[in-house]
Amino acid sequence: MSIRDELPALAGVTYLNAGTNGPMPRAALEAMREELALAVERPRIGMPAFEHFLGLRDQVREALARTVAAPPEQIALTNSTTQGVGVVVAGLDWNPGDRVLTTTEEHQGIRAPLDVISSRYGVDVVEVEADLLAERIDERTRLVAVSHVLWTTGRVLDVAALAAAAHEVGAALLLDGAQSVGAIAVDAPASGADFYAFSGQKWLLGPGGSGGLWVAPDWIDRLWTAQAGYLNLVKGEVGTFKDTAARFDAGTIDTVTLTGIGASLGWVDSQPGGRAGWVERTAANADGARRRLADQPGVELSTPDGGAGPLIALTVEGRDDPVALAEQLSEQDILVRSIPGTPLLRVSVGAWTTDEEIDRLATALTA
């Protein structure tokens, strides 16, 4: 059975929007059905149920850690990239006049939490073009908060250079990994970042409401647990936070969701070459798609040369309304998306994408 056969959502459509939600594998469906049946048919109380709940959290934490090449004790369980970003932003001490640098191309998952601290504490949030980011870091900068891969164009930022510049002035680096984890090879500890937030429902092919946050070891004791509860404590005792990133865990995450993301991660790991092979196939497919689309008359790629990931942004000559174009493609069962406030159409290429699908898209764009 091919990987496409094990991704039911691919049937009958050209699925080119994993940057919003990826196709879940059949293995996740089966695991979630079984877990839901257990929740309905057996008591959800008592020590067996509690041990099952905690065991699932440990398993998923380990699986998420593998996707970012980190030890599980450095991973917090979250329900989204946005929540991970919020945990970090809310957990830092802020003073009026502190400065946060970000790009002009960030998602609301970064922009909204930064807007809150700007209004609440008088933090100076500065948005600059990605090319100018490193040179704008100065002694007032407390935090650099950016996406590893920009959701608008698919550009992959030089996070090592940003980390070096930030650390030189004592600032921290927070990375939004919504469009990187599962899409490109990620090594959070080696990236130079201090925090790395990511989601499960996009390139990791999991259910909504799943995600993770990597916290560098030297920050675990320095970051406030802004949303504290039973699961962040040692044996539930108030005042005794866990000494791992689990102190930043979201509250109760449903066991069906935990089972689903665990099964999706395990399914990819079980494919030929494991996750590394999966990422390599994704990159190869994206490279082929980029070449094919660049050759299509009337199509212009907007992804910069630094864009080595599987997100491809483009414009089409004579088509100034990308929303309408995306809707027209959807009527032909070609699923892409537009980027609000821009003329861009965004294409997400996965390990499952075929040459025939890219040919179909290229032809439809200018038909």
In tens, the pLDDT along 116-168 reads 999 999 999 999 999 999 999 999 999 999 999 999 999 999 999 999 999 99
* Cα–Cα dist 149/344, whole Å: 16
Provide the pLDDT confidence category of residue 306 given band limits of 50, 70 and 90.
Answer: low
- Is the C-alpha dihedral spanning 109, 67, 133, 194 positive or negative? positive
Looking at residue 305, what is its pLDDT? Answer: 58
Measured distance between the N- and C-terminal CA atoms of the chain, rounded to whole angstroms: 34
Tens digit of each residue's pLDDT (9 = 90 or more) over 268-297 = 999 999 999 999 999 999 999 999 999 999
- Listed residue (122, 112, 120) closest to 145, CA to CA: 112
Q: Residue 2: which pLDDT band, with cuts at 50, 70 and 90?
A: confident
Residue 309 has pLDDT above 90, yes or no: no
The arithmetic mean of pLDDT across residues 293-317, rounded, is 87
**pLDDT, averaged across the chain:** 96
The pTM score is 0.96
74: pLDDT strictly greater than 70: yes
> For 22-36, 54-68, 248-262, 292-306, which range has the lowest pLDDT when averaged over its residues?
292-306
d(CA 348, CA 17): 5
Note the Cα 68 to chain centre separation in Å.
11
pLDDT value, residue 367: 85
**Distance between CA 83 and CA 207 in Å, rounded?**
15
28 contact partners, CB below 8 Å, separation of at least 6 = 205, 206, 207, 260, 261, 263, 264, 267
Q: What pLDDT, on a 0 to 100 scale, did the predictor assign at position 163?
A: 98
pLDDT over 90 percentage in the chain: 96
pLDDT in tens, 31-60: 999 999 999 999 999 999 999 999 999 999
What's the pLDDT at 259? 98
Identity of the amino acid at 80: S
pLDDT tier, 247 (very low <50, low <70, confident <90, very high otherwise) = very high
| 147 in Cβ contact with 123 (< 8 Å) | no
Per the model's pLDDT, the better-predicted residue between 235 and 195 turns out to be: 195
Per-residue pLDDT at 55? 97
Average pLDDT, integer, range 239-263: 96
Two tokens at 188? 């959070």
Which domains are seen in the chain, by residue range?
Answer: 8-22+274-365 (3.90.1150.10), 37-269 (3.40.640.10)
Which pLDDT does position 304 carry in this prediction?
61
Q: Rounded mean pLDDT of 247-254? A: 95
Residue 195 has pLDDT above 90, yes or no: yes
